[in-house]
Amino acid sequence: MTRYCTHGVALVLAMLMLTALGGQSAFAEKRVALVVGNSAYVHTTPLSNPLNDARDMTEALKATGFEVVEAIDADKLKLDGALRSFTDKLADADVALFFYAGHGLQVGAQNYLVPIDAKLERERDLEFEAVKLDFVLRQMEIDREGKTSIVILDACRDNPLTRNLARSMGTRSAGIGRGLAAASTGLGTFIAYSTQPGNVALDGKGRNSPFTAALAKHVRVKGRNLPATMIEVRKDVLAATGGKQVPWDHSALTGDFYFVAGETAPPPGSVQQAPAGTSADVAALQARLAKLEAEAKERERSSVTAPAPGAMLAADGIKLAELRARAANLEDMTKDLQRKLMSSRMEEGKALDPNEKMKLQKRSIDIQMEWTRRGLDLKKLRDEIAAIESKAVPAATTAANVPPVTPKSKPDKSSPSFEDADNVALTGNQIRVFRAPNPIACRDACEADTACTGYQHGKKAANMGQCELFSAITARNEDQSWRSGVRRAASGGAPVFGAPPTRSKLGFDFYEDLDFEGDQIKAMTVDSADGCMTVCRNTRDCSAAALLSNKVYSAQFDGHNCVVYRKVLKLRGTAAGVTAIVKRDQ
């Protein structure tokens, strides 16, 4: 039976019961975390803050109900042992979180986390002395459909080990990137970096890094979901670093996550110190991953008698996303090597001294060889991508060995829903980054995502074909590298309540001093009408909300002043101190 909401006494009792049941449900959620903080590096400059960062995050996560495995100053064996202990808890966990503070680096578009005993004197040492981030992500994502995975990396600090590695790699050092690379994630995963991919974060002069100091504070705030938490963290870091460091996140979440969902904090979690680790841990982790991947493929094969034409296994979809991300990074790398080669050839042509000319010729040859190697790596990746994509080609097309028909683009390149602009770049909260064949495809992706308020599509060599979607836009700047568009405010049609709204924002209409009945979802505490709108935007199936500025009304909802609804049933009339916030087309 649907339970309808009014502002009456009977509803108060019903709401108290629902709130209590909702609280029990949230507290029943099993949360596990692995927290790693590496400070005491043996073969490079030690870091002062990761140890404190890890301990403070452990306390913050414990306070929000996580069972934490903590690894402080972990060498390779200890890091492997900690990861194995963490994966043992994943099977029945609803939420899994991995936090890492310490040195990290990217080589060949792959991210690596660095234990305290790593030397990294040669490129091949990476596979034995460091831990690949993709390996951690796959451990967290496999066989956990419908569950939440959160990865937080404070690992973009300036790393002297990259310079040692670069010297040993020669011209192949072009594959060593600054900071960390953007990682591809599966459905249900949220990944946050202390700064943008490709940039270096600050270690901080106080007890903590600027990023972790803000994060440990904001995860304890009640009633704020994960994206909203990261927005507040970003604000604090920008203020603390004078705008030099901008935290970045990428979300593929399929539902809301709150560290503290309501007024009552969850029961405290626990802390377990990571084991010392053994040489058998890596083999056990690899065996676990292989077993789960094989089981996942077998389940999907046996779930249907015959795969539908064009169908793709979920495991293949995750692999495809990873390969495409690596291919995009390699494309950027080969373009950079091409530019370096052209520059080297120009210097070579200007050289007058024979010895200097010979030296420059050798450098050009080395760059060209590396460019060729990276081109071969890219071809291999594209072949792998094509092999996976071919599984999803409709049967008739495969049998005839005919390429699929490319749909004709829309004759009208403009959209009534968007204000498009050439040579304009957007700044704001990114929700998705991917490759799109043209700006229209990028815009269509934004239009299909109700959370998207704007898009931009790259048109220069460095960002060609890159599509970025935003849930909020903070600035628009002239930039010849981008085409962009922002969603227009809807116009026309009858207002929801038969009268024009007081104001409109992000697809919502605001009506002052108007009350209504509706099918209620939940009640929360916020600091403004915009905050109440944000709660509705982040709540599944929400179509309207009411901000109760009058304490008489908010008392009916246990002191909460923001009530969100699935649907509006009818207008109750004027009511001082009530702001109705209604999503358009409801």
Fold match between domain 418-487 and domain 503-583? yes
Residue 108 has pLDDT above 80, yes or no: no
User: What is d(CA 93, CA 456) in angstroms, rounded to the nearest whole number?
Assistant: 37
Per-residue pLDDT tens digits for 431-490: 888 888 889 989 988 888 777 888 999 988 778 889 999 877 777 788 888 999 988 754
Q: Are 139 and 98 spatial neighbours (Cβ–Cβ below 8 Å)?
A: no
Q: Picking from 288-302, 304-318, 546-560, which range would have the lowest pLDDT averaged per residue?
A: 304-318
Mean pLDDT, residues 537-566: 82
Instruction: Check: pTM over 0.75? Answer yes or no.
Output: no
Question: Which residues, listed in sequence order, are joined to residue 152 by a DSSP beta bridge?
Answer: 99, 192
pLDDT tens-digit profile of 183-229? 666 778 899 988 876 566 565 677 889 999 999 999 999 999 999 99
Residue 84 pLDDT grade (very low, low, confident, very high; cuts 50, 70, 90): very high
Instruction: Tell me which architecture the domain covering 27-297 has in CATH.
Output: 3-Layer(aba) Sandwich (3.40)
Average pLDDT of the segment spanning 84-93? 92
The continuous run of DSSP H or E covering 519 comes out as: strand 508-524
CB-CB contact of 94 with 30 (8 Å): yes
pLDDT exceeds 70 at position 28: no
Please tell me whether residue 147 adopts helix, strand or coil conformation.
Answer: coil
Tokens 């010895």, residue located: 355
- Phi first, then psi, for residue 436 (nearest 5°) are -130, 140
Q: What is the CATH number of domain 503-583?
A: 3.50.4.10
Mean pLDDT of 328-355: 81
CATH superfamily, region 418-487: Hepatocyte Growth Factor (3.50.4.10)
Closest CA to 226 of 297, 151, 334: 151
Q: What percentage of the chain has pLDDT greater than the value 70?
A: 75
Q: How confident is the model at residue 270 (pLDDT cuts 50, 70, 90)?
A: very high
**Is the confidence at residue 12, as pLDDT, over 70?**
no
Give me the amino acid identity at 400: A
Q: How far apart are CA 377 and CA 389, in angstroms?
A: 18
pLDDT at 167 over 50: no
For residue 275, is it left (φ>0), alpha (ψ between -120 and 50) or beta?
Answer: beta
From CA 360, how far away is CA 381, in angstroms rounded?
Answer: 31
| Residue 584 predicted with pLDDT over 70 | yes
The pLDDT score that the predictor gives to residue 354 is 87
Cα 167 to Cα 145: distance, rounded to the nearest angstrom: 43
pLDDT at 104 over 90: no
Token digits of residue 581 = 């916030």
Q: How many CB atoms lie within 10 A of CB 45?
A: 13
Which pLDDT score is estimated for 200? 61
Q: Which two tokens stand for residue 347?
A: 């210097």
**Distance separating alpha carbons of residues 570 and 463, to the nearest angstrom:** 49
16: left (phi over 0), alpha (psi -120 to 50) or beta: alpha
Q: Which amino acid is at 81?
A: G
Q: Which of 306, 310, 387, 372 shows the shortest CA–CA distance to 341? A: 372
pLDDT band at 585 (very low <50, low <70, confident <90, very high): low
Give the list of residues 6+ apart from residue 520 with CB closer than 8 angstroms, or none. Answer: 3, 4, 5, 15, 563, 564, 565, 566
Percentage of residues of the chain with pLDDT beyond 90: 23
Would you list the domain boundaries of the chain?
Answer: 27-297, 418-487, 503-583
- Among the residue ranges 130-139, 188-197, 267-276, 292-301, the one predicted with the least confidence is 292-301
